[in-house]
Every structure is written in C-alpha cells, then in structure tokens.
C-alpha cells in the first residue's frame, strides 16, 4: 500500500507545473524570435516593421496602455495563437508549437492562473521586466 501511495504521489508531483521563470532565457527567446519585427529593445522598431501592414506594438508600454496592469492573458494568448493578430495580411507568427514544453502556471495581479509552456512563460516574464 505504501508503494502505491508513493507512486500516486510521484505521478501527481511530476504533473505539477513549474512556476519559476527565467528572465535571461526569455530575453534570448525574444531576441531570436521576436526582435525582427518588435525590435531588439521591444519598442516596435524592428528591421521588418516597415514591411508590415500593421506596425508591431511597442511591447515596453503594454502596462501603460492597460491602466498600469500587465495584460498577461492577452500576451500569452497572442504568442501561442489563442488570440490571433493579423499583420501584413496574415496572422502574427504563432510560436505556440515552437515554444512547446513543460507546462507552467503564471498568475496575473488578480490571482487568475494562466497555463502556458515554460518558454512562453520565460518570454512573458522578460516582457514584464522591460515595461516602462
């Protein structure tokens, strides 16, 4: 009975999402996947910006444009494709598949949990760190 309990506990623990994010990994992911359009400083001034029908968002001002609250759910959903954005006649590149990995849980300021992959969580915490 004891080994059955240990097996159930281990299975449950392995299924628990991680909660720690890596800001430096988020920055690396941003630079390799997002900076072409959004700019190396996330200000919307990337080298591809002039070619886009809709200009990339200045990602350093997401909080400011959202009454001082970082729009966590919207950002996660834009990246993973649950909330598509059309730019240059087609959706913003959806990196949900590329950023697949172990699930983690992020919480917004109201305590709402948002499940996403670890790479997206890393990217989002970096975006939170560059808010002006």
pTM (two decimals): 0.74
Residues paired with 103 in a beta bridge: 117
Plot region of 43 (φ>0 → left; ψ -120 to 50 → alpha; else → beta) = alpha
Helix (H, G, I), strand (E, B) or coil at 76: helix
Question: Where does 36-99 show beta strands of DSSP type E?
Answer: 86-87, 90-91
Query: Any idea what the CATH number is for the domain that residue 59 is in?
Result: 1.10.760
- The total of structural domains in the chain comes to 1
Full domain range(s) for residue 44: 20-129
Helix (H, G, I), strand (E, B) or coil at 128: helix
CB atoms under 10 Å from CB of 25, counted, come to 16
Q: Identify whether 13 is part of a domain.
A: no
pLDDT of residue 129: 96
Give the whole-number percent of the chain exceeding pLDDT 90: 45
Q: pLDDT digits over 32-56, tens only?
A: 999 999 999 999 999 999 988 888 8
């Amino acid at each position: 009975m004891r080994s059955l309990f240990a097996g159930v506990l281990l299975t449950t623990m392995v299924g628990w999402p991680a909660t720690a994010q890596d800001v430096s990994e988020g920055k690396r992911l941003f630079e390799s996947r997002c900076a072409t359009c959004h700019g190396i400083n996330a200000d919307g001034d990337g080298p591809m910006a002039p070619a886009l029908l809709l200009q990339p968002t200045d990602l350093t001002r997401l909080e400011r444009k959202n009454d001082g609250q970082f729009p966590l759910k919207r950002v996660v959903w834009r990246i993973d494709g649950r909330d598509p954005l059309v730019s240059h006649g087609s959706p913003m590149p959806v990196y949900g598949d590329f950023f697949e990995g172990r699930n983690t849980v992020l919480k917004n300021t109201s305590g709402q949990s948002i499940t996403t992959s670890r790479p997206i969580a890393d990217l989002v915490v970096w975006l939170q760190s560059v808010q002006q």
